[in-house]
Amino acid sequence: MMGSCQSGLEAPVSRELAGLIALSRSEVRRTAETPCIGCGRCVSACPWSLAPVEIYKALEHRRFAEAEEAGLAECTECGCCAYVCPARIPLAAGMRRGKSAAARG
């Protein structure tokens, strides 16, 4: 869930690498993002009991203080929120981008 994408097959494999996953195209098929309907699934899924949707919306509007207050720093980018989101909002990717954007200010 948290792995990073490789661009090609010429990537080094070191001893620390826990696993390598190859997914077929049908497994990673993506559906278009639709508006958030506030179902709260991301909130129930978050292992840190954050509200990913609120953090994501704050980040979208560049309200970094609000995102920090909602617990942006505590997010471990595990991706559970994006996994369950019926609107297919890239919540986890948004958190990652948001953290660096918030650090830049």
CA dihedral 48, 94, 38, 58 (to 10 degrees): 90
- In the chain, % helix, strand, coil (3-state, to 5) comes to 40, 0, 60
Nearest to 44 by CA among 87, 86, 94, 81: 81
DSSP 56: H
CB of 69 to other proteins, least distance (A): 6
Determine, following the binding rule CB under 8 A, whether residue 101 of this chain makes contact with other proteins: no
Position among 58, 59, 64, 79 found at the interface with other proteins (CB under 8 A): 79
**Other beta carbons less than 10 A from residue 44's beta carbon:** 11
Q: Which of residues 19-48 bind other proteins (CB under 8 A)?
A: 23, 25, 27-28, 30-31, 34-41, 43
Position among 58, 59, 92, 102 found at the interface with other proteins (CB under 8 A): 92
Contacting residues toward other proteins, per CB under 8 A:
1-10, 23, 25, 27-28, 30-31, 34-41, 43, 49-51, 53-54, 68-74, 77, 79-80, 82-84, 86-88, 90, 92-93, 96
